[in-house]
């Protein structure tokens, strides 16, 4: 079997392992260090003068722990280089800043993660970078929005909270025709279910806090790129002093080893809940691209090989007291942000749209299906709806 033909399930188990260098240990140990001693004066002088540097020269620049994690993610992504940073949001902002400069223009999907939108409207605006939000469903029609200074198109598919599926290959083709870079937040599907770089994306971003970590106990982000962007991205990250701690890299790498197994369970549980919710009289619409009735289902089937446990639900009109009664009565769904861990979560979803209004009949909630028994989760939701009706 060639290296290129390896499946994700095999890659996550074998990639980035450095057993021969660490006395046969399966997992690379945690290297907590700032200072790394050079073997001699010549080595130290060579690095200072810009000559060949040793493999590990300073803790912030990399350790065996960070190398193991980044190499494993890079192989899963099909990337020339992956860098790890302190959070998923930092991965988004770092990817954008590594491409743009004052006077540039970017196109940002209108369904983007809320903090990414705030970054564009705040930090980028102060830097002199203009942002135009585009309808996530434009596809190749995005060409009409390009300007002479458009340097980046930022996608997220499915989109945060509304779960609209974007035609990434069509968008990438148009962007590259205009000399622009394509970045994508691929946290929902991960490279296991959506090979972003193979679909035309230049910078593939993941909040590894979520499905890669998998246990709600780590904050970390990754950016993966092909050869064309590798040196530029690495230099930018080092120049900014960005660094994911070895402890977080160790936890993320441990989570990566079981990613496909957990994702399959999240996908199955999420789809089971989504189909059950579709039939509920309290529900107006379920936002899940793996449902045959979803507007994005055809694109999802074409470009994705699976789904995650995260999806949205539009309820029929209710008041805030009824929504509170529903959510407060749940026993197996935690009321908390983030997602991708083993536990089920539920939150009310509030979002801003400026390119095209997203119509909803009633309140929107976001559900993350964890690894619990679906019968227990359905019973919990059923009891919640009963409490909603009684309020």
Catalytic residue set: 60, 113, 185, 210
Count other Cβ atoms within 10 Å, centred on residue 230.
17
3-class secondary structure, 120? helix
Neighbouring C-alpha atoms within 13 Å toward the C-beta of 58: 10
* Size (the chain), residues: 391
3-class secondary structure, 333? strand
Radius of gyration of the chain (CA): 22
87, 154, 328, 362 from 349: Cα distances, Å:
21, 22, 16, 11
Q: Which residues pair with 150 in a beta bridge?
A: 105
Q: What angle do CA 125, 232, 94 make, to 5 degrees?
A: 40
- Is residue 52 within 8 A of residue 46, CB to CB? The reply is yes
Tracing tokens 């990639």 back to the chain, one arrives at 15
Instruction: Please tell me the distance from the alpha carbon of residue 39 to that of residue 54, in angstroms, as a whole number.
Output: 9
């Amino acid at each position: 079997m060639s290296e290129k033909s390896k499946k994700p399930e095999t890659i996550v188990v074998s990639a980035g392992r450095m057993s021969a260098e660490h006395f046969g240990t399966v997992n690379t140990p945690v290297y907590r260090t700032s200072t790394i001693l050079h073997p001699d004066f010549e080595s130290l002088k060579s690095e200072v003068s810009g000559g060949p540097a040793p493999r590990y020269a300073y803790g912030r620049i990399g350790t065996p722990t960070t190398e193991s994690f980044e190499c494993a993610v890079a192989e899963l992504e099909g990337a020339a280089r992956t860098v790890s940073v302190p959070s998923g949001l930092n991965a988004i902002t770092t990817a954008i800043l590594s491409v743009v400069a004052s006077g540039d223009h970017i196109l940002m999907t209108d369904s983007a993660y809320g903090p990414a939108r705030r970054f564009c409207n705040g930090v980028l605006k102060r830097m002199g970078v203009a942002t135009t939000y585009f309808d996530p469903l434009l596809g190749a029609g995005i060409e009409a929005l390009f300007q002479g200074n458009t340097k980046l198109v930022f996608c997220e598919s499915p989109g945060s909270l509304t779960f609209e599926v974007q035609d990434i290959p069509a968008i990438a083709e148009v962007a590259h025709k205009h000399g622009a870079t394509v970045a994508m937040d691929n946290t929902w599907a991960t490279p296991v279910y959506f090979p972003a770089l193979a679909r035309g994306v230049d910078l593939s971003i993941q909040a590894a806090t979520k499905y890669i970590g998998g246990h709600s106990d780590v904050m970390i982000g990754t950016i993966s790129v092909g050869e064309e962007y590798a040196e530029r991205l690495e230099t930018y990250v080092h120049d900014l002093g960005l660094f994911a701690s070895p402890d977080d890299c160790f936890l993320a790498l441990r989570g990566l080893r079981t990613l496909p197994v957990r994702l399959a369970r999240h996908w199955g549980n999420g789809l089971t809940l989504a189909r059950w919710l579709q039939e509920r009289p309290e529900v107006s619409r379920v936002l899940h691209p793996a449902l045959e009735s979803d507007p994005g289902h055809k694109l999802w089937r074409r470009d994705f090989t699976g789904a995650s446990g995260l999806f949205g639900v539009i309820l029929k009109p209710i008041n805030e007291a009824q929504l509170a009664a529903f959510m407060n009565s749940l026993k197996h769904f935690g009321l908390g942000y983030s997602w991708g861990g083993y536990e089920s979560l539920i939150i009310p979803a509030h979002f801003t749209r400026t390119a095209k209004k997203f119509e909803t009949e009633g309140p929107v909630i976001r559900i993350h299906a964890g690894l619990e028994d679906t019968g227990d989760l359905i019973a919990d939701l059923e009891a919640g709806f009963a409490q909603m009706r009684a309020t």
